[in-house]
Structure 1
Amino acid sequence: MAATFGALAGVKVIDLTQMLAGPYCTMLLADQGADVIKIEPVGGDPTRQFGPFPEDDTAHHFGGYFQSTNRNKKSVAIDLKSEAGKALLRRLTKDADIVVENFRAGVMDRLGIGYEVLAAENPKLVYAAIRGFGDPRTGSSPYVDRPAFDVVAQAMGGAMGITGPDAATPLKIGPGVGDIFPAALAAFGIMAALHHAVRTGVGQFVDVAMYDGILAMCERIVYQYSYLGKSPSPEGNQHPILCPFGTFSAKDGQVTIGCPRDSFWRELCVVMGYPDLATDPKFATNNARLAHAEETIAMVEAWSASRTKAEITLALDGKVPFGPVNTAADIYADPHVAARQMLVELEHPGSARPVTVASTPIRMTATPGGVVHRAPLVGENTSDVLLALGLSSAEIDALKLNRVIAGV
């Protein structure tokens, strides 16, 4: 793997995660230079089989799902149900800084390699878990034994309940926020715990429930219910507190316009050709506009719908917060995306052409980090990692023969 120069260079992470939430969390660490060693079953992480695949790829080592969130990582394939495999994991974690897993509560404990076992051999270890409903170590949930995925967290945490065209039609948010937002919270918790461990030499257990993460993301509905005594419902493409603040039609698509401050509204009124509205008591303040939301939105819609996105851009650029509703093709063509280098090409084993994934949005001037290496093949780094751990080539060959480990 090419050298990285991120702020987490030298930090060793043992990654036991699968699907999206856990791998996204460890991806964030890997993008900032951490040495992330992904522990896979000897047959490989099942998500390797998820597409899409390039048309000329017949090998199917992994698809786009796996490539995107497992870049910058190493792969070590171990059978953790075998005693020899468990012993290898304990050796790997003895000098690790971080362990991350997203199994159901109790799985690692039943295998005999849970937090307390690993921490007894490595007291500074930061051990993080991302589960649907948390871990009993930090507060037992009545749902602790339930499996969960993105859509479950979105539904139960409140995101779907305020998303959709009307109260009768809740909608799942397109990106996997039920996984990705808890993953980002877990990465933050890991960094906080690592800071503590560096200062004190004492690690700890870090727990993020997906349900809790989405509830925290939907913080607005909590105070709305507290203040108003009413559950918010799907709000379409406008905002329950700010006006105007949402999507509006254009001749060739849709744009977003937001006026969270009255100064922006005044600028918009001038651009629309209605300067008197800026001082009209019905529209001069956000609360007044909210009380007359239907009329306010209709005026903005009438103005935007008669113009193209390019014309709206020319009229509002630098004056009012706005932006077009982009497709993936639009994003690929956007000069901002190119200037910020937000799209990265990677090798895809089995294909003659490179593929593109989203880069890290976290930018630092001294330790930039970034995406430097494709996702690994199953066990691609098994031998190298175990040799560095002190095993001999003969021992590694014997472990492969007994299917305790796998590697290419």
Structure 2
Amino acid sequence: MADNTKSPAPTGPLAGITVLDLSRVLAGPWCSQILGDLGADVIKVEQPGQGDDTRRWGPPFLQDGSRDSAYYLCANRNKRSVAIDIARPEGQALVKAFAAKADIVLENFRVGALAKYGLDYAALSAVKPDLIYASITGFGQTGPDKDKGGYDFLIQAMSGLMSVTGPADGTPGAGPLKAGIPVTDLSTGLYAAISILAALQHRTRTGEGQHIDLALLDAQMALLANQASGWLNGAVEPKRLGNLHPTITPYQDFACADGSVIVALGNDRQFHQFCLMLGRDDLADDPRFTLSSTRSDNRAAFLPAIAAELAKWQSADLIAAMEAAGLPVGRVNSVPEALALPQVAARGTVQAIERQDGTEVRFVGFPGQFSKSPVNYRHAPPRSAQDTRGVLAGVLGMGDAEIDALLASGVVADTL
């Protein structure tokens, strides 16, 4: 049983807000973790005997007896876990009781799946009229694809993201690539959190709750940003360019004598100064290259010369020279190298919290730093159902005998 009296009190701006989290895997849990970091009390409902699917998405696993995966750990801090069988009427009654005390319900079941249990928005908003109910699905609650399952990799392909990611046609390894992180799930979680915060403000102003419909496809389409705008407003179809930028040049990796660096020059002044630093005044003054609007069109005429100049440099010397000139430059780091950066340490980006048994879980913390209501880390990612008894008692006011009966019946479960 979780002893929540020993947990730090929430200090974030959402302290006092309660989230009933019926979601699993990544997009939903990523959203609820954000809300938890911001101070909300997040009650994570899991399937008895099963738990969140991502608990088994390893290796690597946490070596603490639970064998929870590192994948699960990245998205489930600041939550309390209860296990409820929502297929049974008694379980449905418990979820409704929790919803009556919640501000937000978050779910990512297929369209219509929760209606058969009486746990959809219509049913729960009847219990709590000002409830904010957020649904995350692959394709949304409407449209011809609403009943299809959606997965991050699938949506990266369908959305067009992979058509602009990867080496250019005609180059080695050409072909579409997915991003190295599940960017569709993560961005949908972010959009869900943003939408929920907006709905909370609407409720504060009007007293009204509402249903929020989030789709992976919609979120990933929104992230096409300049690439979509280029087609919609300029009739230019985006293509894969590898590490080149469609409109900014040079904005790519270059090989130095001892490794690669990223040169990211975002304006004409920076390009001019960069050329002078390299001793290539001719490139700085060439009318084909002086303006960003024409530099990308003529990149083939000067990039080989830039590459040849940079190949003479040691990477550390180039970085030092460019930083002294105020020009953006950096190494291509591995994940361990990035996590060990002095800047990352100075910002307190990497945090740690202990589970009940003392096992330390390390994680990358919430990036926003609040001057008045800072986030804090109160609960390590919970073992499945570890808080069932404590939450039933503390939130619903149940006594030991009632909880024992539910456990014996299998309607709820405690730690796997």
User: Do they fold alike, i.e. is TM over 0.5?
Assistant: yes
Q: Deviations over 1:139-165 (max 9, x none)?
A: x22111111111011111121110010
Q: Deviations over 1:8-48 (max 9, x none)?
A: 11110011111111111111111111111100111122221
Matches within 5 A, 1:54-65: 54=61, 57=63, 59-65=65-71
1:229 equivalent in alignment to 2:231: no
Aligned to 2:149: 147
Structure 1 contact 337–343 (Cα < 8 Å) conserved: yes
Matches within 5 A, 1:210-229: 210-229=216-235
Aligned to 1:340: 347
Structure 2 contact 80–379 (Cα < 8 Å) conserved: no
Aligned to 2:4: none
1:195 equivalent in alignment to 2:186: no
Q: Secondary structure at the match of 1:315?
A: helix
Aligned to 2:336: 329
Please, which of 132, 135, 138 is the counterpart of residue 126 of structure 1? 132
Matches within 5 A, 1:23-172: 23-43=29-49, 44-54=51-61, 57=63, 59-135=65-141, 140-167=142-169, 169-172=175-178
Please state how far the C-alpha of 1:5 moved relative to its aligned partner.
Answer: 0.7
Distance in 1, Cα, partners of 2:168 & 2:19: 44
Distance in 2, Cα, partners of 1:349 & 1:50: 22
Structure 1 contact 253–325 (Cα < 8 Å) conserved: no
Distance in 2, Cα, partners of 1:290 & 1:53: 43
Structure 1 contact 152–178 (Cα < 8 Å) conserved: no
Percentage of pairs with the same residue? 37
Please state how far the C-alpha of 1:302 moved relative to its aligned partner.
Answer: 2.2
Q: How many residues align?
A: 402
Structure 1 contact 381–407 (Cα < 8 Å) conserved: yes
Q: Secondary structure at the match of 1:306?
A: coil
The TM-score, its normalising length taken from structure 1, stands at 0.94
Please, which of 14, 22, 25 is the counterpart of residue 20 of structure 2? 14
Distance in 1, Cα, partners of 2:126 & 2:88: 21
Matches within 5 A, 1:380-391: 380-388=386-394, 389-391=396-398
The TM-score, its normalising length taken from structure 2, stands at 0.92
Distance in 2, Cα, partners of 1:403 & 1:215: 42
Please state how far the C-alpha of 1:61 moved relative to its aligned partner.
Answer: 4.1
Unaligned runs of 5+ in 1: none
Please state how far the C-alpha of 1:242 moved relative to its aligned partner.
Answer: 1.1
Letter in 2 for 1:45: D
Unaligned runs of 5+ in 2: 1-6
Give the stretch that moved more between structures: 113-122 or 60-69: 60-69
Distance in 2, Cα, partners of 1:390 & 1:399: 14
Structure 1 contact 153–210 (Cα < 8 Å) conserved: yes
Please state how far the C-alpha of 1:337 moved relative to its aligned partner.
Answer: 0.7
The change in CA–CA distance for 1:338 and 1:328 in structure 2 (over 3 A counts) is same
Distance in 2, Cα, partners of 1:295 & 1:4: 58
Q: Deviations over 1:84-104 (max 9, x none)?
A: 000000000112111111111
